[in-house]
Structure 1
Amino acid sequence: MIVNGLSAWVMHSRCGSPGGISQYPNVRDEVHLVTEEDLAVIYGAEDGGQVMIGRLASAEGIPVRVDLDKLVTRHSAVLGSTGAGKSTTVASLLRSIALGGGAEGSTNFPSARILLLDIHGEYGRALKSVSTVFRVNPSADEQPLHIPFWALDPVDLLSFLMGKLDDKPLSQILDRVLDYKTKLVNESSIAGLDVNSMTADSPVSFSLKKLWFELLEPEIKTWADQPRTIPALDEAGDAATLKAPRYRPHGAGATAPFINQIGVLGIRRPLDQMRSRLLDRQYDFLLHPGAWEPDLDGKSAKDLPALLEAWLGHDKTVTILDLSGIPSTVVARLIGAILKIIYEGLFWGREKSEGGISRPLLVVMEEAHRYLSKEADGPARSMVQRIVKEGRKFGIGAMVVSQRPSEVDETILSQCGTFIALRLSNSADRAKVQASLPDNLAGVVDSLPVLRVGEAIITGEAARLPIRCRITLPDENNRPNSEDPAVAKRWQGARLPENYERVAAAWRAQNPIWTTLRVLRTALTQEEVENMDRETVASSTVISIGYEPSSNTLEVEFRNGIYQYYNVPEPIYQQFMASDSKGKFLHAYIKPAYPCSRV
């Protein structure tokens, strides 16, 4: 009997059956070299449920595809050292899913739904045409990112606002929060809520300002009489503006005013910290979340349905939550809150057309080692553990992206059915990947240190066989903002004008694209626009460029319209015109630094 195990696999593949070898070869059976035709059948066959991710490293004429069903429902991990090409791989894969093999505006997967947690703000440009971007400091084509505090776990929220609390005050504060929520439900019509089964964790809005004010008053209150019936109040204060009431200082011994003894929790310092948090502008996206911020009665202009629709119901395939403008101290806490909102919504809505079963969701988590480490003890890690264990049944898949797999929680990594491993030089990281693979695949880890940039080994359920693949690079204007600076080229170039006032202002504003408005010139008139000379340039994105030196106004014509950039120094314009890639220079040096408006 002559058995060729590979041909047996090929036969299965051509018949549409699952991969695998039906009969193993025996000793002295013939061995045949695999032909390119065989490789094309194994790796390049398309059945409608796959997307192309790259090309075979040993035969670049053969496309490599991954199974979408297995990639999403059985979870996946994209792992690689810094500079190995992780971000480009993720961008290429997501773009391939969004376009589904078609051109812009055409897709084989019109109902695809992907949520990307973008820690460094890398993907907005790369996925611009297929995504909606939510950002703390949004540009003109982005949406503001709001994460309502009342959707967080209340214990975790109070820990962030007030620090660690003893059990007694914590319990009483949670009871007060529940009272606020119950009162709102009794006074409003909120579908799906029963006051008899509500808890402090129920996603119902309430006022943090009112909570602070009512908790503070017993802590500072004094009385003008011994029976404590007349408050020694000098100024009432105002909860809406976080202005504390002012009482006369208590007297010594039996002298009025007298110290309050009713409702005191001993939390004066935590309440001071809470007020500081509420006044800190860098937390506005959370504590003052736009239309989702409640008034003192707990009522907000928008509620949970509007938030879910904003994140999951728009007309683009990818939702990018750009967390780059968020303080690192709260990133893990917020990711836990985001995942809880998404998971609970799709879990309880699983029988609806908006749920995960009818329209599955892929959650992509960049820089996962920062908030999913084995030492992390927070909501992010517990929610992702829940997703990788239970999400498959409810149409929620996870993609873990990390440069340090050795620091990612073992439970999470072990549940990933597909690994896209780029170059990994650290032995501890390679060992972690090896431990997560089946025994018969552990040998592929040996080649990880010698992979080229943008080259990956794909193993697991979404791949027909372990494969060494060259990831398809997006075109230059659709790549993440993760490339290394061209040090030698920049140091060789002429020194650009510098203004450290705007550096300090951007730091204080916690916004890298902030500009001092007082130095800006107003937009040109329509007549000036029509009279400005623009030079046609060779570029895939820019049609023509004009410059008005007297006002330092740069004008750029795109295919979708004309934009003016203000206060642009003439040397910047000259370098823009001389650059090899107009689109890349624009995104790197002009858009982040100078305000613009559409003409």
Structure 2
Amino acid sequence: MTTLRHQDLNFGSIKEVDGSSIILHANFLERECGGIKLCAEVGAYVNCGGAHGDTICNISKVQISEVEKTIRTDNGLEIVREERKIVTLSILGSATHGKFRRGTKRLPTINCEAYFLSSDQLNCLIGIDLREDKEHFCVTDDSDDDQTYLNLDKLMGRHVAILGTTGSGKSCTVASIMQSILLSYDCPRILFFDIHDEYPSAFGYNENTPSALFKEKTNSIPWSKFSLPYWFLDLEEFFGVYNLEPGSNQKAIIKRLITKLKEDEAKSEGLLNIVVSADTPVYFNVDALVDELENEKNSQTNTTNKKPYESLLLKLQAVRQDTRYSFLHREIDSKLSIVDYFKFILGLDESESYLNILDLSGLPTEVRAVCVGVISRLCFDFKYWDLDPENIPLNLVLEEAHAYIPEEKDSKYNISKERVERIAKEGRKYGIGLTVVTQRPSNVSTTVLSQCGTYISLRLTNDLDQNKIKRLLPDTLESQVDFLPSLRDGEAFVSGDSINLPRKVQFKVPNPMPRSNDVRYHKSWKLGKPDSYSLKALVESWHKQDKSE
């Protein structure tokens, strides 16, 4: 077993201890062992080893202060100034039988020695043997001196938050992690909510950077083929999508008629022994619903009684005829079943796909939150009714999460927040996890973020966002938030259940890249528009609401 107290790496002794931090006076700020130089820098790992055992810490602050000392010389007493090297440590855990464990039973004592920890010692502490350990996968480049491994079970099963301001490399980090998973595991199951249609190119859907290896495992569902049949909506979601007012009269009318239509359909299809309600995912014809409402309205003799029907008809017909909502009615002729829908969005047909990307870029802004909530709820129900959660563990990637699960209280986000928050709180036991991706963590539901077991924090410059992260991280890691504004592109501070030791990680560059690169103004403004540019084609795509051409 590699010793954690190498004398060549001894650099100081402890002078102050409290519940979460340690202050030591350093004799050296640099030490060298085996040709490798280790420095007292923020984020470096240290072992405080003494009679109490081994306490693993990392450096949160380094400073030099001047103190005055009175010394006796041949000329009498003289006051001299002396530099004192002061290093502040944050306690992470302890080493038990040579392996890292969170928390510590006994704190170090005064004058206990402190030792730098080398990469070999850290790897020994983490104790990952990739020949036997299939839970971990590597997220750093092969040439990186400091290889970092994440525990897949804890990363996906206990939810993960990927946070970073725009331009910090957030999209590349997400793509890098997903590529690493696809390379490390044969049969993952991931559903990607892609708000800006930027991720298909990272998985082989780009003629300029093709990748057969990723493409054969991935199903990219373009906006032109995306559907969310209205008959899968529960009653609350139906009112949200069709902009209906959930007044007592209207809700009762719609509930009664939809239930009747679904019961009739179930009988005609021979679906016996099922419990049919307005929430059951069974087909019904929305045009038949309109006809039923029209007939009931005409049967009313009182103008006041006709009013709820008129309002319902107006809104139902408006959405039915609105081309922006065509995704609700695309499968109306096929009467798509819930079985076939799950095959479609989760890649469960014979030619299985393991990363399924939903292009939601064409969704109307006012209905995007509801649609994300509906699909999340369907996926939760899918896992809830699966008797064995290990059959098909599922992870949902929520890109731009602040756009549909915000912290603010607004009725238009109620459905998406309630559905996603339920997964955050209960999903672990049913085998469904969340990957929450956002550039504004201060605007995202605290309920969701607080349930995340792993935080991957890229560069964050906004103080509100930094404070939100500081409140979510353990007290011992609060000081680490201070260096988030200075992180490089693609570099993140990773902490939580999936990583043995919290650390800064430079994620490997994804290959291929997502379509999220900064626009090269200098090139375009120097050379002008390309010869193939067509304003007519642009407007045609605009009219069709289709960016695939």
Secondary structure, aligned partner of 1:399: strand
Shift of 1:28: 1.2
Residue in 2 aligned with 1:274?
A: 316
1:81 to 149, 155, 165: 165
2:294 to 216, 219, 233: 216
Matched, 1:463 2:539: no
Residue in 2 aligned with 1:578?
A: none
Matched, 1:131 2:239: no
Secondary structure, aligned partner of 1:202: coil
TM-score relative to the length of structure 1: 0.69
CA distance in 2, matches of 1:503, 1:112: 37
Shift of 1:421: 0.1
Matched, 1:373 2:406: yes
The answer on whether the counterparts of 1:365 and 1:401 sit within 8 Å (CA) in structure 2 is: yes
Secondary structure, aligned partner of 1:51: strand
Counterpart code for 2:279: D
Matched, 1:323 2:360: yes
1:473 to 478, 503, 509: 509
Counterpart code for 2:55: G
The answer on whether the counterparts of 2:427 and 2:433 sit within 8 Å (CA) in structure 1 is: yes
Secondary structure, aligned partner of 1:121: coil
1:93 to 173, 177, 197: 177
Mark the CA change 1:458 to 1:42 in structure 2 (over 3 Å): closer, same or farther: farther
Matched, 1:507 2:542: yes
Number of residue pairs matched by the alignment = 444
How does 1:169-248 map onto structure 2 within 5 Å?
169-190=250-271, 193-194=274-275, 198-219=276-297
The answer on whether the counterparts of 1:4 and 1:30 sit within 8 Å (CA) in structure 2 is: no
The answer on whether the counterparts of 1:40 and 1:62 sit within 8 Å (CA) in structure 2 is: no
Mark the CA change 1:261 to 1:490 in structure 2 (over 3 Å): closer, same or farther: closer
* Structure 2, gaps ≥5 residues long: 1-49, 58-91, 205-213
Mark the CA change 1:153 to 1:499 in structure 2 (over 3 Å): closer, same or farther: same
Shift of 1:67: 0.8
Shift of 1:405: 0.4
How does 1:11-410 map onto structure 2 within 5 Å?
12=96, 18-21=101-104, 23-42=106-125, 45-46=128-129, 47-54=133-140, 60-100=144-184, 109-128=185-204, 129=214, 130-137=217-224, 144-190=225-271, 193-194=274-275, 198-219=276-297, 264-286=306-328, 288-290=329-331, 293=332, 300-312=334-346, 313-314=348-349, 315-351=352-388, 356-374=389-407, 375-376=409-410, 377-410=413-446
Counterpart code for 2:387: R
CA distance in 2, matches of 1:335, 1:191: 31
Residue in 1 aligned with 2:27?
A: none
Shift of 1:204: 1.2
CA distance in 2, matches of 1:188, 1:13: 64
The answer on whether the counterparts of 2:165 and 2:461 sit within 8 Å (CA) in structure 1 is: yes
Q: Which runs of 4+ in 1 moved over 6 A?
A: 7-10, 259-263
The answer on whether the counterparts of 1:78 and 1:401 sit within 8 Å (CA) in structure 2 is: yes
The answer on whether the counterparts of 1:12 and 1:19 sit within 8 Å (CA) in structure 2 is: no
* Structure 1, gaps ≥5 residues long: 101-108, 138-143, 223-258, 295-299, 515-599
TM-score relative to the length of structure 2: 0.76
Mark the CA change 1:86 to 1:207 in structure 2 (over 3 Å): closer, same or farther: same
The answer on whether the counterparts of 1:79 and 1:404 sit within 8 Å (CA) in structure 2 is: yes
CA distance in 1, matches of 2:548, 2:428: 40
Q: CA RMSD in A?
A: 2.6
How does 1:425-436 map onto structure 2 within 5 Å?
425-436=461-472
CA distance in 2, matches of 1:266, 1:391: 39
Q: More strand per residue: 1 or 2?
A: 2
Counterpart code for 1:453: D
Mark the CA change 1:155 to 1:492 in structure 2 (over 3 Å): closer, same or farther: same
